[in-house]
Structure 1
Amino acid sequence: MNLEFYKNQALLRQKENKKFLESLKKKPPKNLDYLVQETHEQVFEKIDCLQCANCCKTTGPLFTEKDIERIAKHLKMKVSDFEQKFLQTDEDQDKVLQNLPCWFLADDNTCSIYEVRPKACREFPHTDRKKIYQINHLTLKNTLICPAAYEFVEKMKENLTKK
């Protein structure tokens, strides 16, 4: 997967994509949630995250207390030991990874804690959520990181002009 190509395309289309996403907020189509789900599925039929894992290499998820408890239990660690070994508190007082790429990312781009991974990882790149216009800023940012997010926005533009 050519990440540089996707990032360059996303940068080139940043203004256009921002305008498109804002139009969804101003005047959302009646069937927007359905269209989002359909587009998300179309994109992930073609894109395999295991070929990329750029999110795991470049951006750390936010860890909720539930995430921390679940993962620590899975690793048979005390919560405090898990936090000390893997996490830090950022400027927003959120718990995030100390280092990137993610500790749990294997050489073959699989995740060693996949079954118990953080909620943020499970939901990334957030292209299947209802009222997607509520996270326009995040969707736009994710197009620079994630080929699937970029493809999603491009496909949404295409799907909306068809209908």
Structure 2
Amino acid sequence: MYPIDKLREEAALKAPEWIAYYKKNRKRLMKMNRELLSLHEEASNEIDCLQCGNCCRHLGPRILERDIDTLAKALRIKPAAFIDAYLRIDEDRDWVFSAESCPFLGEDNYCAVYKDRPKACRDYPHTDRKKFHQIYALSVKNASFCPIVFRVLEQLKGL
């Protein structure tokens, strides 16, 4: 397990270092896609998401219209019924799940809609993304929830 309180505490302590690293290495980061992908793969191979589930419990993914259609179809309900049952509009005017914890997360950390999960869930934790430098600030925030992001940011300082 990856206790959320401990991860948040450690990430809060490390955040100033990560931000300083970014400010000093911003241009270099723009050219590090291959190195970042390697760090992502290494961390992903060592950390079992099914032992964690913090992202599903504490981060509300943005739900796109196509996600609504896909999930409604998978659940064999109309998109409007899916929206009524599971979604709300957040302060950024995006669709997100009504509850903080994903309604499709099982006690065993398995996703009941895994093959039809939203794009934001498929792409998470974004540490394998090209142009990672564009979402670096978001990654610093995500390190409070995700041990993979935490590890990638820590390893990145050593490159």
Give the structure 2 partner of residue 123 of structure 1. 123
Give the structure 2 partner of residue 25 of structure 1. 26
TM-score (normalised: structure 2): 0.94
CA distance in 2, matches of 1:37, 1:27: 15
Unaligned runs of 5+ in 1: none
Equivalent residues in 2 for 1:7-156 (5 A)?
7-28=8-29, 30=31, 32-156=32-156
| SS of 2:88 mapped into structure 1 | strand
Cα distance, 1:28 vs structure 2: 3.1
The amino acid across from 1:70 in the alignment is: T
Aligned length: 158
CA distance in 1, matches of 2:141, 2:29: 20
* Identical columns (%): 40
Cα distance, 1:60 vs structure 2: 1.0
The amino acid across from 2:152 in the alignment is: F
CA distance in 2, matches of 1:83, 1:124: 22
Cα distance, 1:147 vs structure 2: 1.0
**CA 1:29–1:92: 2 relative to 1, 3 Å:** closer
Cα distance, 1:68 vs structure 2: 0.5
8 Å contact from structure 2 (residues 61, 97) kept in 1: yes
- CA offset digits 1:13-48 (Å, max 9, x no partner): 110011113334233364x00001100000011100
